[in-house]
Structure 1
Amino acid sequence: MSIENWTFNKQNESKKHKATIPGTVHTDLFQNQLIPDPFFGNNEKQLQWIENENWEYETHFALSKSELKNQNIDLEFEGLDTYATVFLNGKVVLEADNMFRKWIISAKSHLKIGTNHLKVVFHSAVQKGKEEAKKLSYTLPEKERVFVRKAQYQFGWDWGPRFVTAGIWKKVQLKFWNSAKIENIKYSQIELNDKKAVLEFTTEIYVSKVKTIQLKINEKTEVFNLKKGKNKIKMQYEIANPKLWWCNGLGDANLYPFTVEINQKKQFLDSKKLNIGLRTIELIQEKDQAGKSFYFKLNGKSVFMKGANVVPPDSFLPRVSDTTYFSLVENAKKANMNMLRVWGGGVYFDDAFYEACDAKGILVWQDFMFACSMYPGDEEFVENVKQEVIDNVNRLQNHPSIAIWCGNNENDEGWHNWGWQKQFNYSKADSTQIWNDYKKVFHEMIPNTLDSLLPKEKNIYWSSSPSIGWGRKESLTQGDSHYWGVWWGKEPFEIYEKKVGRFMSEYGFQGMPNLETLQKIMHNEDLNFTSEAFKNHQKHPTGYETINEYMERDYVVPKDFEDYLYVSQLLQARGMKIAIEAHRRAKPYCMGTLFWQLNDCWPVTSWSSLDYYGNWKAFHYQVKRSFENLLISVADENEKFKVYLINDNFESSSGKLELELLSFDGKLLWKTLKEFTVQENASTAFYEILKEDFKSFNLQQTFLKVKFNEFQSQYFFVKPKDLKLSKPNIQVKTIDELTIEISSDVLAKDVFLSSENQVFFEDNYFDLLPNEKRIIKLSKAAKEIKVKSLFDTMK
């Protein structure tokens, strides 16, 4: 039974207010109109007092005589954020200290018939963290947050605000049970081939006394004698002619539904459901001439991973619905992704996210929740993290989408590359202690715990991402790589073509959100670069200056604010196109590209391809094109232009490769046609053009159109600011209320379609070629379609 009707108050204040559970203190304060909208304008700054207070939540609930007759009553908190003292009828029944754990209290002896009182006191995580920090003789980077087992991004990040929350952030309920309950189910694949799959289920059952039960898995039943307490029973299940689970783009994400049920003499006791995907996954690291490979094999086939890093979709996590997770994964699938990395500074996502990944064929790189710092290694901390690992691995391990477990984000790199030893003036003894504590958690406790929980085929562990920092040459020859020379290092986008590693698990560039997004969180008069509200929605210290510096390199910088937002999105999309296509051309040397970042936790200027409201930036449309299974990519390589065909499919593709050099008004200047076959799962340079051959043409007014079967791409020889564009006459014709046809007399570069009623256009921010007719689907009927192209911003 769900426990409801909660109130909350600041500790030592008598006035109580209505609380929403699951919830956070910030959202409760806002709903009671006690604070302004935390996301609006500059409000964040005036709400920092909340994190330093203690907060009390309480409720009364009634129990009947028949309910109290149950042999066992458990009080279950799926999530308490973070330091919580729980009182049941005036007695302390729990001291919680980890947001990521599930807390179960055997509550029957504390309950009574009639009204019961439940109270939870949340202690300030910031104050608790500071108290813990004082216990050490040295300072760890990032101050109090590292001592607190809580979502690290809430302490502020370079894309997120500082809102250190407290509250009952997941469901709370009383569970009544009598003789037996299923505590956990896991399975392993004993055998998997074309003819059959043999699964072994291990079911953990807790019984209050010795008994005989029937365990039923789908239609198969076996009888077991159980002892009092916890029992682990194994049972095999066979599937004839199994269908494999494949990731997006390579086959169907086939799932088999299972119901595991326990009965005693035909009386139902408990059951659980799960969906199983039959597949094998391996991480292949083999020495080669360059260093060491790093790629995934799915069902025995090497797969190039295409995707992004995901952050929590809100600063206030209980606001994230199953639908939010579903649409996040759906947007990844629509953009031809096959892997998402759940980043270590956030949270282990709700089941809905992993269920969506299972259903849509998206593999998951799962970090444990540590990021960008060093952490304590005392016995109490390590034991707390161990229980967190157990809770979350037990919850998530049956998902076929989970490909790899990773210890942390950038802790190893930070220690070796970011100058902490010097900055914090560590003695040799301090440094040794801090590194030993690191090894204790990430090289010993976590992998040992995984070994105890997982069958071999589900146990791929990587201690830290990246394995080596981006300043060192080995970072590009082995392991996974976070490349931040672009953005942090201010290097030109073209450096991406040289700095290609074995698996690019982070890289990125910022782009601003659309005007409509900004209008939701600031007044119109604040829509300028000098307003405090606008500055507050950029968390990188030199973010706007960096965008501007890159924009000056590649674009004519617009004076109009709305045009500037649009060009910033084109800039982001252009930089990321260069990166992604360089990674894909380098296949099989490079076998993965996960950009930073898919989404946002609030409306902000950031590296995301989807804004906080789920709107696609220009970058997301570009990702969809650059992640197609068959990609045409043109590279400028010294004295030549090389045309590459990249094929991620498991079958070869034959056809005509057609190259045309066209002027911006559509005149054909040069043409060639060749028959080609691109082999399965390969990247090949198919055609070379000597730059000498094109020197008689004005490359500021021409482009190369490349076509292979139904795939098409165009290549521009100069930067956007150097293009000699002429004014396009763009025509939009309505075919029906959900379909339009768009055409132009001359090249229209980066056509942006918008409508005041928030229509989603199936394609957007595209180049419209002269006299081409392009059909575009709409998500709903548009009130009035507005059209903008790059020419309009170059005045």
Structure 2
Amino acid sequence: MSSENWTFNKHNEAKKYKATIPGTVHTDLFQNQLISDPFFGANEKQLQWIENENWEYETHFTISESELKNQNIDLEFEGLDTYATVFLNGKVVLEADNMFRKWTISTKSHLKRGTNHLKVVFHSAVQKGKEEAKKLPYTLPEKERVFVRKAQYQFGWDWGPRFVTAGIWKKVQLKFWNSAKIEHVKYEQKVLNESVANLDFIFTIHAEKSGKYQIKLGQKPFPFVLKKGQNVVKVPVTIQNPILWWCNGLGVPHQYLFQFELEKNNKRIEQNELKIGLRTIELIQENKEQGKSFYFKLNGKSVFMKGANVVPPDSFLPRVSDSTYFSLVENAKKANMNMLRVWGGGVYFDDAFYEACDANGILVWQDFMFACSMYPGDEKFVENVKQEVIDNVNRLQNHPSIAIWCGNNENDEGWQNWGWQKQFNYSKADSTQIWNDYKKVFHEMIPQTLDSLLPKEKNIYWSSSPSIGWGRKESLLQGDSHYWGVWWGKEPFEIYEKKVGRFMSEYGFQGMPNLETLQKVMKKEDLNFNSEAFKNHQKHPTGYETINEYMERDYVVPKDFEDYAYVSQLLQARGMKTAIEAHRRTKPYCMGTLYWQFNDCWPVTSWSSLDYYGNWKAFHYQAKRSFENILLSFEMNVNRGNKYFVINDGLQNYAGELKAEIRNFNGQLLWNDLTYCKADSKSINIAITYPSIPLDKIDTQNSYLKMEFISDENHWESNFFFEKPKNLKLSKPNIQIKNIDELTIEISSDVLAKDVFLSSENNTFFEDNYFDLLPNEKRIIKLSKAAKEIKVKSLFDIMK
């Protein structure tokens, strides 16, 4: 039915316009040229009226005589955003109130042969939320949005615009069925070892008639008797010598495909398939001298989690295609990640995202959709959320990528640390009620619902991320941590080396997107810090002020706008490199680093490493280097001695030579050393102390340290600079680019070229970018397509 001819109109207005289903009212208004592009310039501000209106969508469709003969006809909405009254041939058949739920209506008695009329009236979510808010004797933080079960980021965030949408945002269809239908399928791992996997496939089947049925799994039939109504049927499956599913960097994410059919009297009623991955996952929390551990074991192996927090890829979700999700996950894999956290202020993603994670070995930390506030706890709200949990857990639980279910993002921290009690002048009774409502949802209903839906091996629940706020000492001793002393607290990047928790699930720093990204959403004359259009594409109230303060600390601040964007990306990458490597150096004390944030919902200056169009910022290239399984890192400390770290996150052991040398920017050797070391996958990080580096005799502003680890044919290297970029004595590099073939270039320089940035007119993707090109080094770089006129920029160009 999504393909029928739909129209939409503002409530009480006769004029109807063509609608696209799935879609949103904003995109429909734009496609009909009734509004300007919501993302362009400062248009967002002029479009806020849309959220306060009611909107009507309707279509006519034909039902044949033969279709009407089916015993059951269901009208199925996979997503209605959000408050919707559904009329079928003039009669109300549904009142929906949750964007995240699937709505199924038995409609045979409402349908007729020939033309039928379907109408959906969307009521303003903002107005509905305000009505609900008035029913409480106190004000909850974030006002109307917390009462509305829709994507919270649509109400505006410090990286996203305010577009509170409405519409049929997912597929709508009629389903015809007769004797029985499969409602959902899940599986349990009863036994999993090297020699055998014993599974139970569990089918929930609704039968219109009692009788004999069978499920055929592959070619093997399993007969059983169904009673009228809902039935649960178990089918045992045995796999000999099972192949395990592994995350990226540790092995192959192997999956098994099972095809099944539901039959009656040897006639197929329904067929489908299920892909599964065999693996065990555990969250290990053990009391230690230094607090309590927090790490994951996959198939019995301790895994250091490396990745990021994902937000919805668009403000208007129906525009997000399967290929968008595939591309996001592919970019995570290319950057050596093994985990993505689906953040609680967005949506439960489409199946395509989780399928891509399954196929690429990316584990998923799955939040439920609550963020940065307190929520009501009345019976209607809790029941609504319970059905939301059931719908989404049933849909997602078979994915081997799902590692953990988390109740919310920062609600607990906000209550404990953000001063809401004082800000909203809560009485003791108010505070007790609000906290009891919180516990009702996140400590009682959600975990109890998960217990009823999930087998033990899939049921890891964490009530709130982070478990303790970043200002408290305990936050670094147990649970997961969101550390925001850098950025929010204006602390220097170097503080990351001291503030390391057990599992760093959020931290970050902003960087601008490339100029080409901004040019798509603003006029050329608006590309400056004073224009309203440019200011509108920075949602943090002191964002540019904060970037500039940090930039002054570490870099020469450029006057040119394009250069400023380039240096802001270098600044972001530098800060995040410091954080990631500090986290990895403390392994196994810290066993996870998920930065904020992976992507954007529109073109904006934000904490993302990928911009809205999927372009890699400097930070994403740096993340790729910092997330390699073998990482060479250097810690400079005059008092305690300088340390080299060889960090191995893989399952393979390596032994070989660790070379260290200091050269000046012209390539002259000033000092070198050689030692033998082992990088054992099971051991604590290798740390070699070198107090003997003669830094007092070296011009640290004109030299760098190069580390190399060579094990048989394997080779890793890393560079370290002793001074901040603004203090480096860089000279003009003569950078040469030679074409090896259409998709390969060789690049070299006579002297150090710092932070080399390659670009081309036709948006070619360079496999490596924003890198340091050492004196006389020849670097081979692959291209996604033939480049038109490669442009080169380095840090020298903005310091001259």
Q: By the TM > 0.5 criterion, same fold? A: yes
Look up the equivalent residue of 1:130 and give its one-letter code. Answer: K
Out of 761, 773, 785, the residue aligned to residue 790 of structure 2 is 785
2: CA distance between counterparts of 1:660 and 1:533? 49
SS in 2 for 1:573: helix
Out of 765, 778, 785, the residue aligned to residue 770 of structure 2 is 765
1:380 aligned residue: 380
2: CA distance between counterparts of 1:373 and 1:684? 39
Look up the equivalent residue of 2:789 and give its one-letter code. Answer: E
SS in 2 for 1:184: strand
1:283 aligned residue: 283
1: CA distance between counterparts of 2:2 and 2:567? 50
Q: Unaligned 5+ residue runs, structure 1?
A: none
1:733 aligned residue: 738
Shift of 1:691: 6.5
Report the aligned-residue RMSD.
0.8
1:747 aligned residue: 752
Count residues with an aligned counterpart: 795
Tell me if the contact between 1:306 and 1:339 (Cα under 8 Å) persists in the aligned partners: yes
2:391 aligned residue: 391
2: CA distance between counterparts of 1:459 and 1:54? 40
2:103 aligned residue: 103
Residue 498 (structure 2) pairs with residue 490 (structure 1) = no
2:318 aligned residue: 318
Look up the equivalent residue of 2:753 and give its one-letter code. Answer: A
1:14 aligned residue: 14
Q: 1:98 to 1:617 in 2, by over 3 A?
A: same
| Cα displacement string for residues 135-193 of structure 1 (whole angstroms, at most 9, x for unaligned residues) | 00000000100000000000000000000000000000000011111001010000001
Shift of 1:106: 0.1
Tell me if the contact between 1:651 and 1:681 (Cα under 8 Å) persists in the aligned partners: no
What's the TM-score once normalised by structure 1's chain length? 0.99
| Cα displacement string for residues 76-113 of structure 1 (whole angstroms, at most 9, x for unaligned residues) | 00000000000000000000000000000000000000
Look up the equivalent residue of 2:525 and give its one-letter code. Answer: E
Q: 1:343 to 1:210 in 2, by over 3 A?
A: same
| Cα displacement string for residues 29-59 of structure 1 (whole angstroms, at most 9, x for unaligned residues) | 0000000000000000000000000000000
1: CA distance between counterparts of 2:655 and 2:686? 15
| Cα displacement string for residues 416-469 of structure 1 (whole angstroms, at most 9, x for unaligned residues) | 000000000000000000000000000000000000000000000000000000
2: CA distance between counterparts of 1:653 and 1:3? 57
1: CA distance between counterparts of 2:683 and 2:508? 25
1:180 aligned residue: 180
Look up the equivalent residue of 1:666 and give its one-letter code. Answer: G
Tell me if the contact between 2:335 and 2:623 (Cα under 8 Å) persists in the aligned partners: yes
Instruction: Give runs of aligned pairs for residues 166-205 of structure 1, distance below 5 A.
Output: 166-205=166-205
Look up the equivalent residue of 2:767 and give its one-letter code. Answer: E
Residue 169 (structure 2) pairs with residue 161 (structure 1) = no
Instruction: Give runs of aligned pairs for residues 259-408 of structure 1, distance below 5 A.
Output: 259-408=259-408
Residue 729 (structure 2) pairs with residue 724 (structure 1) = yes
Shift of 1:650: 1.4
Look up the equivalent residue of 2:701 and give its one-letter code. Answer: Q
Shift of 1:683: 4.3
Choose 639-648 or 41-50, whichever is displaced more.
639-648
Q: 1:739 to 1:692 in 2, by over 3 A?
A: closer
2: CA distance between counterparts of 1:690 and 1:468? 37
1: CA distance between counterparts of 2:727 and 2:740? 36
Percent identity among equivalent residues? 79
Shift of 1:235: 1.0
Shift of 1:689: 2.5
1:672 aligned residue: 673
2: CA distance between counterparts of 1:2 and 1:673? 66
Tell me if the contact between 2:2 and 2:22 (Cα under 8 Å) persists in the aligned partners: no
Shift of 1:219: 2.8
Shift of 1:266: 1.5
SS in 2 for 1:302: strand
SS in 2 for 1:170: coil
Instruction: Give runs of aligned pairs for residues 545-584 of structure 1, distance below 5 A.
Output: 545-584=545-584
Choose 257-266 or 11-20, whichever is displaced more.
257-266
Residue 655 (structure 2) pairs with residue 654 (structure 1) = yes
2: CA distance between counterparts of 1:430 and 1:691? 62
SS in 2 for 1:249: coil
Look up the equivalent residue of 1:248 and give its one-letter code. Answer: N
Choose 310-319 or 631-640, whichever is displaced more.
631-640
Out of 752, 767, 776, the residue aligned to residue 781 of structure 2 is 776
SS in 2 for 1:637: coil
1:125 aligned residue: 125
1: CA distance between counterparts of 2:249 and 2:788? 35
1: CA distance between counterparts of 2:692 and 2:57? 71
Tell me if the contact between 1:3 and 1:173 (Cα under 8 Å) persists in the aligned partners: no
1: CA distance between counterparts of 2:56 and 2:356? 35
Tell me if the contact between 1:310 and 1:597 (Cα under 8 Å) persists in the aligned partners: yes
Shift of 1:692: 6.5
| Cα displacement string for residues 397-423 of structure 1 (whole angstroms, at most 9, x for unaligned residues) | 000000000000000000000000000
Choose 270-279 or 425-434, whichever is displaced more.
270-279
2: CA distance between counterparts of 1:265 and 1:707? 69
Shift of 1:577: 0.1
Shift of 1:2: 4.8
Choose 610-619 or 255-264, whichever is displaced more.
255-264
1:615 aligned residue: 615
2: CA distance between counterparts of 1:322 and 1:383? 31
2:37 aligned residue: 37
Residue 700 (structure 2) pairs with residue 699 (structure 1) = yes
SS in 1 for 2:651: coil
Tell me if the contact between 2:390 and 2:449 (Cα under 8 Å) persists in the aligned partners: yes
Tell me if the contact between 1:67 and 1:176 (Cα under 8 Å) persists in the aligned partners: yes
Choose 217-226 or 737-746, whichever is displaced more.
217-226
1: CA distance between counterparts of 2:767 and 2:339? 22
Q: Which runs of 4 or more aligned residues in structure 1 lie more than 4 Å from their structure 2 counterparts after TM superposition?
A: none
2: CA distance between counterparts of 1:523 and 1:337? 36
Tell me if the contact between 1:3 and 1:174 (Cα under 8 Å) persists in the aligned partners: no
Tell me if the contact between 1:752 and 1:766 (Cα under 8 Å) persists in the aligned partners: yes
Look up the equivalent residue of 1:363 and give its one-letter code. Answer: L
Look up the equivalent residue of 1:598 and give its one-letter code. Answer: F
Tell me if the contact between 1:645 and 1:683 (Cα under 8 Å) persists in the aligned partners: no
Choose 649-658 or 39-48, whichever is displaced more.
649-658
Tell me if the contact between 1:588 and 1:682 (Cα under 8 Å) persists in the aligned partners: no
SS in 1 for 2:701: coil
Look up the equivalent residue of 1:697 and give its one-letter code. Answer: I
Q: Unaligned 5+ residue runs, structure 2?
A: none
Shift of 1:688: 2.2
2: CA distance between counterparts of 1:21 and 1:3? 7
Out of 699, 703, 719, the residue aligned to residue 714 of structure 1 is 719
Tell me if the contact between 1:648 and 1:682 (Cα under 8 Å) persists in the aligned partners: no
2: CA distance between counterparts of 1:682 and 1:568? 37
What's the TM-score once normalised by structure 2's chain length? 0.99
